[in-house]
Amino acid sequence: MDYQQLETICARACKLVRNTGSYIRGQLDDQHSVEFFEKGIHDFVTHVDKNSESMLIEGLSEILPGSGFLAEENTANTGSKEFMWIIDPLDGTTNFIHSIPLYSISVALNQNERTVLGIVYEINMQECFYAWHGSKAFLNGKEIKVSATGNMDHALFATGFPYYDYSRMGPYMGLFSYLVQNTSGLRRLGSAAVDLAFVACGRFEGFYEYGLHPWDVAAGAFVVKQAGGKVCDFKGQDNYIDGKEIIATNSVIFSEFMELVKKYF
C-alpha cells in the first residue's frame, strides 16, 4: 500500500475514532451508574468498551474491506490476513469507571505483521495523535517530535504499575526508586497509549512498563518512532508488541535509559 493510500485511510480512521470518542464522552453523565465486570485480576470492562469496539470494527471494516482484527474485548485474531487492525476501544477503563479524565482509543494497522499506521485519541482533551508509514507524526494536524532533553536530571518519565503479574516487582521497584531520585519525576496516567503519545510529542522523555498487550502499545509505539523516538523491549530488541514489555524514549537518552533497564531487569 502506497503513501497516498495510507494517508487517506488514516484520515478516514481518525474521523471514525473521533466519532467513537464522542460516543464515549456522551456516557460521562451516566458514568457513576455504568455497570462493569471484572474479566481478569484488576481488569475491568464496561458496556462502553464493548459498544465502542463494535463501532470501530464496523467502521474500519468499511474503510478497509476484508481486513482482520485483534481487539481487546473480543481478543480474536480473525486469521492470517495481509491487513490486521489492532484496537483498544477504551484504554484506561479503570480511569473511566472512576471518572478520572484520562483515557483513550488506540488503533493500529498492520500490513504483513508490520505496523503501517497508528492513531491514539485522548478523549477528554480531544487530542488525536497519528502517523502512517513514511509520514511525520501529528497531533490534531500539527507535526510533533520527541523532546531533545538529554539530561536525565531534567527528564520526566511515565510508567504503569503492574496489576496482575507481580513476579518482577523487585526489579520494577528498583528502577522506580532510582528514577524517583535521579530524574524530574515519574507519572502514572493509567493509559499506556497516552503515555506513548506523550513521549511522541515531547511531554515525557520516556516510558516503560511490563505486562502490556498488543492493543495497548501498537499504535502509540508507531507514533513515537515516526516522531523520532526509540522503542524496544527490555532487552533492547524489537519484541515490544507481543513481548509484554516496552521502553519508549527520545533518541538522546535512549542508550543511558536502556543501560538502567538492563541493570535492574
pLDDT at 55: 96
Q: Which CATH number fits domain 3-144: 3.50.30.40, 3.90.1300.10, 3.30.540.10, 3.30.1360.120?
A: 3.30.540.10
Please provide the DSSP assignment of the chain as one string.
Answer: --HHHHHHHHHHHHHHHHHHHHHHHHTGGGGGG--EEEEETTEEEEHHHHHHHHHHHHHHHHHSTT-EEEETTT-----S-SEEEEEEEEETHHHHHTT-S--EEEEEEEETTEEEEEEEEETTTTEEEEEETTS-EEETTEEE-------GGG-EEEE---SS--TTHHHHHHHHHHHHHHSSEEE--S-HHHHHHHHHTTS-SEEEEES--HHHHHHHHHHHHHTT-EEE-TTSSSTTSSSSEEEEE-TTTHHHHHHHHHHH-
In the predicted structure, residue 77 carries a pLDDT above the cut 90: no
Please list the residue range(s) of the chain that carry CATH number 3.40.190.80: 152-264
User: What number is the average pLDDT over the span 176-182?
Assistant: 97
Query: Is the whole model's pTM more than 0.85, yes or no?
Result: yes
The per-residue pLDDT of the chain, averaged, comes to 92
Model confidence at 163, in pLDDT bands (50, 70, 90)?
A: confident
What share of the chain has pLDDT > 70, as a percent?
91
Task: Assess if CATH 3.20.20.70 describes domain 152-264.
Answer: no
The 10s digit of each residue's pLDDT in 28-73 is 765 555 555 555 444 455 788 889 999 999 999 999 999 999 997 7
pLDDT at 59: 97
If one counts every other C-beta atom within 10 angstroms of the C-beta of residue 55, the result is 18
Model confidence at 166, in pLDDT bands (50, 70, 90)?
A: confident
pLDDT at 42: 42
Please list the residue range(s) of the chain that carry CATH number 3.30.540.10: 3-144
What share of the chain has pLDDT > 90, as a percent?
82
The 10s digit of each residue's pLDDT in 183-237 is 999 999 999 999 999 999 999 999 999 999 999 999 999 999 999 999 999 999 9
Model confidence at 81, in pLDDT bands (50, 70, 90)?
A: confident
pLDDT at 75: 47
* Dist. CA 56–CA 213, nearest whole Å: 18
